[in-house]
Amino acid sequence: MIVAREPIQRPPDARLLAIDAKGVITHWLRRDLAALLRRGDLVVANDAATLPASLAGLHAESGKPIEVRLAQRASLERDDVHEFSAVVFGEGDYRTPTELRPAPPALAIGDRLQLGPLRATVRRLLGHPRFIAMRFEGSAHAIWRGIAHHGRPIQYAHMRPALALWDVWTPVAGAPAAFEPPSAGFALDWHLLADLRRRGVAFTTITHAAGISSTGDSALDARLPLDEPYVIPRVTADAIAKARRRKGRIVAIGTTVVRALEAAATADGRVRAGAGVATLRIDSHTRLRVVDAILSGTHEPGTSHYALLGAFLSPEWLERGNRELEAHGYRTHEFGDSVLIERSVRWPGSTSFDRACREPTHDRALREEEQYERG
Amino acid sequence: MNGDRQHDIDLAGLRIAITGGTSGLGLALVREWNARGASVAFVARTPERVEQLARELRGVTGIVGDVANKLDIHPIALQILGALGGLDVLVNNASSLGPVPLALLADTECEAIEDALATNLLGPFRLTKALLGALRASAAEHRGGAVLNISSDAAITPYPGWGAYGASKAALHHLSAIWNAELEDEGIIVSSLDPGDMDTPLHALAVPDADRSTLRHPEVSARELTQAIVGALGERMRVRQADVR
Domain range list for chain B: 3-240
Q: Do B63 and A145 touch (CB under 8 A)?
A: yes
Distances in whole angstroms, Cα of residue A157 to Cα of each of A154, A219, A306, B29, B236: 10, 20, 21, 46, 46
Query: What value does the mean pLDDT of chain B take?
Result: 93
| pLDDT at B219 exceeding the cut of 90 | yes
- Residues in chain B with CB shorter than 8 Å from the CB of A233 are 137, 140-141
Return the pLDDT at A1: 84
Query: What value does the mean pLDDT of chain A take?
Result: 92
HEC secondary structure over A330-363: CEECCCCCEEEEECCCCCCCCCCCCHHHHHHHHH
The answer to whether B140 contacts chain A (CB < 8 Å) is yes
Return the pLDDT at B240: 57
Tell which phi-psi region holds residue B15, choosing left (phi > 0), alpha (psi between -120 and 50) or beta: beta
Beta bridge partners of B121: none
- Residues in chain A with CB shorter than 8 Å from the CB of B133 are 47, 49, 169-174
A372 or B235, higher pLDDT: B235
Answer positive or negative: Cα dihedral of A121, A125, A128, A132: negative
Q: What is the DSSP letter of B121?
A: I
Return the pLDDT at A300: 85
Q: Which residues contact B168 (CB under 8 A, 6 or more apart)?
A: B96, B98, B113, B116, B117, B119, B120, B121
Q: Do A235 and B134 touch (CB under 8 A)?
A: no
pTM (2 decimals)? 0.93
The answer to whether A357 contacts chain B (CB < 8 Å) is no
Give tens-digit pLDDT for A24-51: 999 999 999 999 999 999 999 999 999 9
SS3 B143: coil
Q: Do B141 and A171 touch (CB under 8 A)?
A: no
* H/E segment holding residue A66: strand A64-72
- Residues in chain B with CB shorter than 8 Å from the CB of A147 are 78, 82
Return the pLDDT at B241: 57
What is the layout of strands, in order, in the sheet containing B146-150?
B61-64, B39-44, B15-19, B89-92, B146-150, B189-193
The answer to whether B74 contacts chain A (CB < 8 Å) is yes
Of B85, B133, B182, the CB nearest to A173: B133
Catalytic residue among B87, B165, B168, B175: B165
SS3 A54: strand
Neighbours of A370 (CB within 10 A): 12
The answer to whether B86 contacts chain A (CB < 8 Å) is yes
Is residue B244 within 8 Å of residue B50, measured between CB atoms?
no
Q: Do B140 and A235 touch (CB under 8 A)?
A: yes
Task: Count A/B contacts: CB-CB distance under 8 Å.
Answer: 90
Q: Closest approach of chain B CAs to the CA of A268, in angstroms?
A: 25
Q: Closest approach of chain B CAs to the CA of A222, in angstroms?
A: 31
Domains of chain A: 2-50+163-371 (3.40.1780.10), 54-150 (2.40.10.240)
- Residues in chain A with CB shorter than 8 Å from the CB of B63 are 145
Of A165, A233, A234, the CB nearest to B78: A165
Is residue B181 within 8 Å of residue B195, measured between CB atoms?
no
Query: What's the mean pLDDT in B149-173?
Result: 96
Is residue A303 within 8 Å of residue A322, measured between CB atoms?
no
Return the pLDDT at A303: 87
Q: Do B130 and A164 touch (CB under 8 A)?
A: no
Q: Do B130 and A47 touch (CB under 8 A)?
A: no
Query: What's the mean pLDDT in B34-59?
Result: 97
Residue of A nearest to B76 (CA): A148
B159 is catalytic: no
Q: Closest approach of chain A CAs to the CA of B230, in angstroms?
A: 22
Report the distance separating Cα A333 and Cα A237, nearest Å. Answer: 30
Q: Do A175 and B134 touch (CB under 8 A)?
A: yes
Return the pLDDT at B242: 56
- Fold assignment, B3-240: Rossmann fold (3.40.50)
What is the number of helices (H) and of strands (E) in chain A? 9, 19
Is residue A15 within 8 Å of residue A27, measured between CB atoms?
yes
Q: Give which of A26, A63, A336, A172 is closest to B140, Cα–Cα.
A: A172
Pairing status of strand A49-50 against strand B61-64: unpaired
Length of chain A: 375
Q: Do B186 and A193 touch (CB under 8 A)?
A: yes
Mutation site, A152, A166, A230, A236, interface B, largest B CB count within 10 A: A166
Give tens-digit pLDDT for B110-146: 999 999 999 999 999 999 999 999 999 999 999 999 9
Return the pLDDT at A345: 83
Residue of A nearest to B54 (CA): A141
Q: Which residues contact B138 (CB under 8 A, 6 or more apart)?
A: B15, B86, B87, B88, B144, B145
Return the pLDDT at B239: 60
- Residues in chain B with CB shorter than 8 Å from the CB of A232 are none
- Residues in chain B with CB shorter than 8 Å from the CB of A234 are 141
Report the distance separating Cα A360 and Cα A173, nearest Å. Answer: 36
Give tens-digit pLDDT for B52-80: 999 999 899 999 999 999 999 999 999 99
The answer to whether B187 contacts chain A (CB < 8 Å) is no
- Which positions of chain A have pLDDT values less than 70? 348-375
| pLDDT at B41 exceeding the cut of 50 | yes
| AA letter at B196 | G
